[in-house]
Amino acid sequence: MEKHRIFLADKCYIGENAPTALNVLLGANSAKGYDTELRRMDAVRESLLPVTLITDLSLYKTRPGEELWRRISRDGDFVVGTVPVYQAVQANHRISASLLLEQIQEQAENGVGLMTIHPTPSYQLIELSQQRCIPITSRGGAAVCRDMIVGQKEENIYIQILDEVIAIARANHVTLSIGSSFRSGALRDGMDSAYQAELLKQIEIAEYCFNNGVGAIIETPGHASPQHIFQICEWLKKRNGFPIMPLGPMPTDCALDQDDMAACMGAVLMGTNDCADILSIVTREEHSGGVPTIESTLSAIRKYAVAKHIIDIYKLNDTKMDDEISFLRSQKSSCLIEGEEDCIRCGKLCPLRTDVSHKGF
């Protein structure tokens, strides 16, 4: 099935025949953390790495006008993403519809280009998830489920206000990311009944948004073995016409302090199966409980830049940089494209300096 092409905040296309985009995740949970995230944002900008989006996942409520997402928007270099429900959960675990809509309206009118919503939770999916090793691993999805249960609501908060959300998004050219509340948090659950049922619901909601004039993307999957990744990709290619933003995926549960590398491998598996249009960057601290260092964030972006390029070689046959490097190696008769030194490892047997034509023997 051919994908829609979605225009993000007048900056770039994603989807069919478009380059893969990189999404950096920031977020402050305290005043101290807020200052760290500002420095992280500056470091990402100054790195000149190929980042398209920065998404603010903050739980900390800073002074009005100083939110991270607003600071990113003022900068103007990146598409800004948010998860509005993070700022709308109250102390009693309830979500106020009016507060959530207020957050969405404010963000949409002030430069946010991609907004993640969580409209899929239902009692059926909650029941299916109970058969899992880890029932739920999405913060936003868990918050929406808790509000629905505590408030004894028949439908989740986002379904109740979906038409209002679509109207705000349409008026402000915001793309909606249909969040994966029940993405798997363990390999063993990577393609289970809860996940498959949610995917169908995500696609149904994305189509509803698209038919009402709003761009949509599908956020998925989380943890999935290589076998499940291939199954998920085949499933998506048959049923889904929207750009996809994998959250990883994590193709192993035991990479621990190497989660960035593992997630890059999962991203390449998805991307070379036509199922990765935006890569949300996972750092090596993903499952450590700690906040990533700035160096760790930049290291992860560099790894994902390689993953992005490999995917774009597959999707777009984009080998321009590769061909330039190969040509330089050929010209210099050396794999070292900078400097004049010989390759110490190969020494006298450097194959690039060996004449293998018939005249050389």
Q: Domain extents for the chain?
A: 5-318, 323-360
Which secondary structure element, helix H or strand E, spans residue 217, and what is its range?
A: strand 216-219
Retrieve residue 239's tokens.
């049923």
pLDDT of residue 115: 98
Neighbour-count burial of 208, counting CB atoms closer than 10 A to its CB (0-12 exposed, 13-18 middle, 19+ buried): middle
93 Rama sector, left if φ>0, alpha if ψ -120 to 50, beta otherwise: left
Cβ atoms of 56 and 66 within 8 Å: the answer is no
The stretches of 220-293 forming alpha helices (DSSP H) are: 226-239, 259-271
pLDDT of residue 329: 87
Cβ atoms of 214 and 115 within 8 Å: the answer is no
pTM exceeding the 0.75 threshold for the entire prediction: yes
pLDDT of residue 359: 57
pLDDT of residue 75: 86
Tens-of-pLDDT digits for all 361 residues of the chain? 788 999 998 889 999 899 999 999 999 999 989 999 999 999 999 999 999 999 999 999 888 899 999 999 998 899 999 999 999 999 898 999 999 999 999 999 999 999 999 999 999 999 999 999 999 999 999 999 999 999 999 999 999 999 999 999 999 999 999 999 999 999 999 999 999 999 999 999 999 999 999 999 999 999 999 999 999 999 999 999 999 999 989 999 999 889 999 999 999 999 999 999 999 999 999 888 788 999 999 999 999 999 999 999 999 999 999 999 999 888 888 888 877 667 777 877 888 887 776 555 4
Cβ atoms of 115 and 169 within 8 Å: the answer is yes
pLDDT of residue 361: 46
CATH hierarchy code of domain 5-318: 3.20.20.540
pLDDT of residue 76: 85
